[in-house]
Chain A
Amino acid sequence: MVRATAAQQAAALAAGELSSRELTRAHLDRIAAVDGAIGAFLDVDADKALADADAADAARREAAADGASVPELTGVPTAVKDLIVTRGQVTTAASRILEGWVPPYDATLVKNLRAAHLPILGKTNLDEFAMGGSTEHSAFGRTANPWDLGRIPGGSSGGSAAAVGAFEAPTAVGTDTGGSIRQPAAVTGTVGVKPTYGTVSRFGVIAMASSLDTPGPMARTVLDAALLHDVIASYDPLDSTSLPDAPRGMADVVRAAQAGADLTGLRVGVIAELDGGEGYHAGVVDSFHTALELLEEAGAAVETVSLPHLEYALDAYYLIMPAEASSNLARYDGMRYGLRVEPAEGPVTAETVMAATRGAGFGDEVKRRIILGTHVLSAGYYDAYYGSAQKVRTLVQRDFAAAWQRADVLVSPTAPVTAYRFGEKDDPLAMYKLDVTTIPANLAGVPAMSLPSGLSDDGLPVGFQVLAPQRADDRLYRVGAVLEAMLEKKWGGHLLAQAPELEVK
């Protein structure tokens, strides 16, 4: 039951073949059996999830009695990255500084999940405050990759990706600031979508870098991602960057594309700057080119497109992101919630409590970015760093605008490498460099998807990234649906079927 896709589970619920309680219970059992090895979840509240499930069953019964319809995913459970606040359930952002904090309110996207009656299985692990690309930087333990428990599941939404990849949850919500949905999806053989910035409300999403943070769906199939996308995306007057006119109905787009399986006339641009080269695994590049051939087979016209300023995108990102993060994280001062540490000696003042609390409450990666961001914004350096980075951002946006004249979608490998071993990238700069492929979409605010394109020569999953213009999220789902169908035909099923069986407790 837990290996079925979310769409299949929804169909079984609709047909009355099982209840949401049974389905939710099955996932809770799976979590109990395998999460000791995976570590995808920081908090599982079985009672709450089952209560949600009962409410979902009731909603289906009432709708049936009234001849009304319910959202397709009603009763299909999901998991939520612990960066997203849930009323009455602990939310920590994987940081000691928020240990035990119970938010008094729901994020807008969580309200949407509740309104559509998706039981929330639990809160998934992440790199502390979403800072990192491996989920090794969580204060509460690392998450393992279901393909190889000695490897990272990607980050920062590694918990969500691993939960989906290990069949603990059919879908999960992640957030993507520089690739934090797509990169873990790529290294776990799952599907992750960063929607157009402003499509899914950030209200209630603990901010890392406000101008880049984008919540989105993670799933095992393109259709499942689309179904979750349709639930969480909404115009939100509580988020002033929310788009009133974002596209809707991604699941319909996927179903139509699956029926046609044809991309005739679609112009696919291969991003020249991200097509292999130094730092890319050969297996990643091979898998990417195999997928390109399939796109051509489906009728797409593939050509190479250059975005010349991408070479500066990584540098610009690592100035803007910590600058915003340093400001967003200033509120964790030990005064109002979460951890409070008094100084070991000397006077107890607001300043000394704040310093002691932050010293104990923030991990190294968080401290590193706060220091960097504070420096970037400081008087005398602002123009050289933050100001220049914003100019690069504008140039990258112009590159994209020019590219859309020549291509309907752009493609690249989602990550230059497959999942690496824990501790392998202990140099922060080496980790930062792996974001080179995913960051441009965040700087430009455009939507992007990662879906599995196969296995590398090391037997680990490779992600294929598709990017589209702002508000053209539907193109991602169309291309993804067609490519996924062709790949699954080739593999004889879902790629995850090739993953090793986890030892079940």
Chain B
Amino acid sequence: MSDELMDYDEAVRRYDPVIGLEVHVELGTATKMFDAAPNVFGAQPNTMVTPTSAGLPGSLPVVNGKGVEYAIRIGLALGCEIAETCRFARKNYFYPDLCKDFQTSQSDEPIAYDGALPVELEDGTVFTVPIERAHMEEDAGKNIHVGGADGRIEGADHSLVDYNRAGVPLVEIVTRPIEGAGARAPEVAATYVRTLRDIFRALGVSEARMERGNVRADVNVSLRESPDSPWGTRTETKNVNTFRGIDAVVRYEIRRQAAILAAGGEVQQETRHGQADGTTRAGRIKSDADDYRYFPEPDLVPLAPSREWVEEIRAGLPEMPAAKRRRLKAEWGLADDEMRDVVNAGALELIEATVLAGTTGQAARKWWMGELSRSAKEQELALEDLSITPAQVAGLQNLVDSGRLTDKLARQVLEGVLAGEGDPEQVVEARGLEVVSDEGALLAAVDDALAANPDVAEKIRGGKVKAAGAIVGAVMKATKGQADARRVRELVMERVGG
């Protein structure tokens, strides 16, 4: 079953990849798209259903206004036009977890259309992804296969269906064919979805948690001889829900299809499934387009979002992540690569909150990208899951700034905070870590050290200023590191250099 692959660089030299992405996002509304069942994740199976979300005979859908508002928010954020009127349609097909045996969706009349999303790549260049449409639909339930290995349908002896997810509102964002990405197609695809994820979060329309499948992408890839050639046959890889997976699928399909074309073969139009190792595997062959027998949903009246409402929503849109990044980068005085590291580390919001709690961008960055990143890596945690708050980080930095902690002491205090010993102040208190600022005590310690090391004192007097380090070290040791080394050095020079 293993596919022949062409070397990636050669593949993109010989062929022009065209990609297309269909991204589904589950909206974080309180209730489902067409009924009052709660929209929650992780509940006991089939406890979050009404007759409508179970598709019982006689049940009817009613549109969730919040879902429509969220869809409009997404459409506006992607630069789309918002339809004056639009309708829902029935997409008729059988699938065991589809309770009505049709999905309520939008076909030829989406709520938002004709948008564009600028996507900033790793090196700072901006690639604009053309958006064809964003439309509303409902999620299906979930099949649970029992009796096989790893919950897969292969080898299972029966399947159960959980309808808790049935009817959860989705917005599907469909790109136009993305041309001109060339060798960067995998990066464009992954960065586009990451950019969308950030926008969903900024808009507050979804938690957009990839690991829960809140955001899923269908990835289309085709190759052609050159940008002037007709479209090639495309494959569609379903439900990829990691950024790395999206990158890998595009990369793999380019290599696989290039090998087929170079050997004079034909790419099959088919649905494929992304694998954990970054390869894709053939699913069913799409010989003809499925006949979904779309027709306007007669149980729902057409939607006509008023222009006033749309403008109200537009006026209430938050700052978009890209603009926010530009602003924060300037405000914090970060270099391009520093900012990129921050974003890639998922530390932007944490640093922003730390700055808001009262410190500088540079200082906040230093903590989160330094000590805290290291600590997170050691504990195998996400940064936001460390047991420290942005306010605590800001508090720690303030103790340094006011001279009450040295950097070295601050690191010890940090350890205490991460260990759950309380706020920085409390840790300083409990561990007795404050800088010794009593000049008399410091002087006494300096004098003791000089007296104990007369030869060193002599060297300093002789002009070997570097030798002062040994005295400073001795004093630091005597004060268990709680002295301000800079001040100690000054005192040594006063006493000896005089």
Residues of A within 8 A of B (CB): 84-85, 91, 93, 98, 101, 103-105, 107, 202-207, 209-211, 237-241, 323-324, 326-327, 330-333, 335-337, 350-351, 354, 374, 377-379, 382, 386
Contacts and interface: CB of A to CB of B under 8 A. Distances in A.
A105 B56 contact: yes
B94 A211 contact: no
Interface in B91-109: 92, 94, 96, 99-102
Interface stretch (B111-119, B296-304, B375-383, B430-438): B296-304
B298 A203 contact: no
A237 B293 CA distance: 28
B291 interface: yes
Nearest to A98: B57
Contacts of B299: 202, 207, 210, 240-241
B25 to A, nearest CB: 24
A211 B300 CA distance: 9
B58 A327 contact: no
A93 B57 CA distance: 10
B60 interface: yes
Contact of A333 (B56, B92, B101, B291): B101
Given A333-B101, A354-B94, A327 B293 contact: yes
A344 to B, nearest CB: 19
Given A98-B57, A240-B299, A354-B94, 10 more contacts: A202-B299, A203-B60, A241-B299, A331-B55, A332-B57, A333-B101, A350-B94, A351-B94, A377-B293, A382-B293
Nearest to B51: A105
A471 B58 CA distance: 24
Contact of B58 (A207, A237, A326): A207
Interface in B288-330: 289, 291, 293-295, 298-301
A330 B94 contact: yes
Interface of B: 51, 54-63, 90, 92, 94, 96, 99-102, 159, 161, 289, 291, 293-295, 298-301
Given A210-B298, A241-B299, A382-B295, A107 B100 contact: no
Contacts of A202: 60, 299
B58 A239 contact: no
28 contacts: A84-B58, A85-B58, A93-B57, A101-B57, A103-B56, A103-B57, A103-B58, A105-B51, A203-B60, A206-B58, A207-B299, A237-B62, A239-B60, A239-B62, A240-B60, A240-B61, A240-B63, A240-B299, A327-B92, A327-B102, A327-B293, A330-B100, A330-B101, A331-B57, A331-B101, A336-B161, A378-B293, A382-B293
B94 A327 contact: no
Contacts of B102: 327, 330
Contact of B96 (A85, A93, A335, A337): A335
Q: Which of B59, B99, B291, B300 has the most CB of A within 10 A?
A: B59
Contacts of A337: 56
A104 B300 contact: no
B56 A240 contact: no
Contacts of A104: 51, 56
Contacts of B54: 336
B94 A238 contact: no
B321 to A, nearest CB: 35
B90 A327 contact: yes
A331 B60 CA distance: 13
A80 to B, nearest CB: 12
B58 A374 contact: no
Contacts of A209: 298
Contacts of B56: 85, 103-105, 337
A13 B456 CA distance: 117
Nearest to B288: A379
Contacts of B291: 378-379
Q: Which of B99, B294, B298 has the most CB of A within 10 A?
A: B298
A205 B161 contact: no
A65 B295 CA distance: 55
A331 B99 contact: yes
Contacts of B294: 377, 382
The 6 closest A-B pairs by CB, nearest first: A330-B101, A210-B298, A377-B293, A211-B298, A204-B58, A85-B58
A331 B58 contact: no
Nearest to A330: B101
Contacts of A107: 58
Contacts of B59: 203-204
A203 B289 CA distance: 34
Contacts of B94: 330, 333, 350-351, 354
Q: Which of B60, B61, B90, B92 has the most CB of A within 10 A?
A: B60
